Amino acid sequence: MPHAVTQSCVGDGSCVYACPVNCIQPTPDDPAFDLAEMLFIDPATCVDCGACVSACPVDAIKPHHELEAGEKAFLQLNAAYHQVPRNRPTLAPVRPRLRVRDFGIPLDVAIVGSGPAAMYAAEELLTIPGARVTVYERLERPNGLVRSGVAPDHRRTRRVSGQLERIRRHPRLAMRLGVEIGADLTHDDLLVQHHAVIYAVGASTDRRLEIPGAELPGVASATSFVGWYNGHPDHAGHAFDLSQRRVAVIGNGNVALDVARMLTVDPETLVDSEIAPPALAALRSSAVEEVSIIGRRGAEFSSFTLPELIGLTTTSNLNVVVDPAELPMDAAADDAKLALLRSLPSEPGPTGRTIRLRYGLAPQRILGADRAEGLELAATDDGGSTTIEAGLVLTAIGYRGLPVPALPYDASRGTVPNDAGRVTGDDGAPMPGTYVAGWIKRGPTGFIGTNKRCAQDTVAELVEDHNAGRLSTARAAVT
């Protein structure tokens, strides 16, 4: 019986290198890797050894016979990826080891942030004999978005924190929690104490929806809602009015799916999760009956991923509905996401809460005098106008990186300008010893594992600068 990768896949590629027959694709060297929604096992060549099961940090891989009812769809999804034959070597190509010039002093690097990009950068640096890493984290607790971004009911995905913890335990890594760069220490302080600095500070705010009424009580960002239910100290004090029966979520990425699901799942299923206790208490007394997820474009442009849609549609006691008139007539027959959307009912069953997927509706205005009462939407095909009732409106239209003290900032992208990870100044020249990794480098896209390749690429640039004598490692060796 073959194995299958399921919803919690974080795409860090650990399974790929464990597989003795290279049947898990795409591999990290493949250009398709960065765009893939998950990794896929070829059932025709899987030898059922289970090596991938042990390697996966989030228990995403299961043998055929252990798949739960809601996971059976992943068998077909894994197989479908391999229906297009691809040439592949017997084993996945391994990334070559870093070749590091010996200047007589060990490389010492500061990393700012402690989420996946930061810790994968640390892991790569610590493969260098003698190299030291100090991780500076603003909060008193580490892990970045793994702790404060992944939904509490995604328990298996949250297990990636075990992988980050293992990296943190490395004897040549020091953690400095509760230290804010720009307030407690400056960038120059870091460059005095270390040979280089990698900023992996993520994208900690949200893109703003600038429409009339967006400032009304009852309108909030998904970022603050996610931070609230995960107990992030910046958001723990927020309050959300869950006495409302109808909620609208603007945007249809995976964050929109997360917040809509958290508002509609049975709160008793969250009891043994890491949800913040005040959020659990609020959800227990919630009056929310229906959440509409509003996409401004057609269903073929849904920003959520297929694995997350499968997970949503198999959530117990939840109705996920879509009006067939809002689905395209002429989409490609092999589009699995659209096929699943087409199989959904148009109206909810008699029990359970409801998530309604809406398409082709651009938000125009939040309705209401003293607080949000609804949403005015313009149909993107004919410009017609429609309204929906919503006492709570959450905007989930993407994250955005904040400026980093002492570093240049690209306000249009919410990132730090860089050339393959080397921070570049206004003149385009690299800032000595200064690097970025993760969402502050490339913007808020991809999955937890995408940050591994991203961080490794940044470390490769840093090592190239070290080898070329462009870091103070070389100066220290001369003086």
Of 172-180, 246-254, 312-320, 322-330: span binding ligand NAP (CB under 6 A): 246-254
Query: Does the protein bind ligand NAP through residue 137 (CB under 6 A)?
Result: no
Site membership for ligand NAP, residue 429 (CB under 6 A): no
Residue at token pair 């917040």 = 259
- Considering CB under 6 A, how many residues would be counted as binding ligand NAP? 25
Rounded least distance, CB 373 to ligand NAP, Å: 19
Task: Give the Cα separation of 426 and 300 in Å (integer).
Answer: 39
Contacting ligand NAP (CB under 6 A), which of 113, 251, 421, 433?
A: 251
Residue 396 binds to ligand NAP (criterion: CB under 6 A): yes
Among 366, 444, 462, 471, binds ligand NAP (CB under 6 A): 444
With CB atoms as reference, the residue minimizing the distance to ligand NAP is 253
Single residue of 398, 401, 417, 449 touching ligand NAP by CB under 6 A = 398
Interaction between residue 252 and ligand NAP (CB under 6 A): yes
Is the sign of the CA dihedral 465, 469, 472, 473 positive or negative? positive
Q: Where in 256-315 is the site for ligand NAP (CB under 6 A)?
A: 256, 258, 295-297, 301, 303, 305, 308
> Measured from the CB of residue 303, what is the shortest distance to ligand NAP in angstroms?
4
Which stretch, 86-94, 183-191, 249-257, 319-327, contacts ligand NAP (CB under 6 A)? 249-257
Q: Quick one: 199 or 359, whose CB is closer to ligand NAP?
A: 359
Q: Strands 318-322 and 205-206, how do they pair?
A: unpaired
254 in contact with ligand NAP (CB under 6 A): yes
User: CA-CA distance, 392 to 217, in Å (whole number)?
Assistant: 9
- The residue among 7 and 473 lying less far from ligand NAP, judged by its C-beta, is 7
Smallest distance from the beta carbon of 157 to ligand NAP, in angstroms?
7
The single residue among 19, 60, 397, 454 that binds ligand NAP, judged by CB under 6 A, is: 397
What's the 3-state SS for the chain? CCEEECCCCCCCCHHHHHCCCCCEECCCCCHHHHHCCCCEECCCCCCCCCHHHHHCCCCCEEEHHHCCHHHCHHHHHHHHHCCCCCCCCCCCCCCCCCCCCCCCCCCEEEEECCCHHHHHHHHHHCCCCCCEEEEEECCCCCCCHHHHCCCCCCHHHHCHHHHHHHHHCCCCEEEEECCCECCCECHHHHHHHCCEEEECCCCCEECCCCCCCCCCCCEEEHHHHHHHHCCCCCCCCCCCCCCCCEEEEECCCHHHHHHHHHHHCCHHHHCCCCCCHHHHHHHHCCCCCEEEEECCCCHHHCCCCHHHHHHHHCCCCEEEEECHHHCCCCCCCCCHHHHHHHCCCCCCCCCCEEEEEECCEEEEEEECCCCCCEEEEEECCCCCEEEEECCEEEECCCEECCCCCCCCCECCCCECCEECCEEECCCCCEEEEEEECCHHHHCCCCCCCHHHHHHHHHHHHHHHHHHCCCCHHHHHHHC
Stretch that binds ligand NAP, among 89-97, 253-261, 364-372, 460-468 (CB under 6 A): 253-261
Is-contact 348 367, C-beta < 8 A?
no
Q: Give the residue, chosen from 160, 214, 255, 259, that forms a contact with ligand NAP under the rule CB under 6 A.
A: 255
Sign of the four-CA dihedral 124, 126, 132, 134: positive
Min. distance of Cβ 253 from ligand NAP in angstroms?
2
- Residue 29 in tokens: 């060297």
Pairing of strands 219-221, 418-419: unpaired
**Applying CB under 6 A, which of residues 360, 363, 417, 421 lies at the interface with ligand NAP?**
363
Nearer to ligand NAP, 28 or 446 (CB): 446
Closer Cβ to ligand NAP, 146 or 431, answer by number: 146
The residue among 433 and 444 lying less far from ligand NAP, judged by its C-beta, is 444
Instruction: Give min distance, CB of 55 to ligand NAP, in A.
Output: 20
If one asks whether residue 456 binds ligand NAP (CB under 6 A), the answer comes out as: no
Handedness of CA 287, 314, 24, 65 (dihedral sign): positive
Where in 364-383 is the site for ligand NAP (CB under 6 A)? none
Q: Which residues within the stretch 151-210 sit at the binding site for ligand NAP (CB under 6 A)? A: 209
Q: Which of 253, 391, 401, 421 binds ligand NAP (CB under 6 A)?
A: 253
Segment lying near ligand NAP (by CB under 6 A), choices 248-256, 263-271, 330-338, 376-384? 248-256
Shortest distance in whole angstroms from residue 398 CB to ligand NAP:
4
Minimum separation from the CB atom of position 403 to ligand NAP (A): 20
58 interacts with ligand NAP by CB under 6 A = no
**Cβ proximity to ligand NAP, 180 vs 381, nearer residue:** 381
Q: In the complex, which residues of this chain contact ligand NAP (CB under 6 A)?
A: 209, 250-256, 258, 295-297, 301, 303, 305, 308, 363, 396-399, 444-447
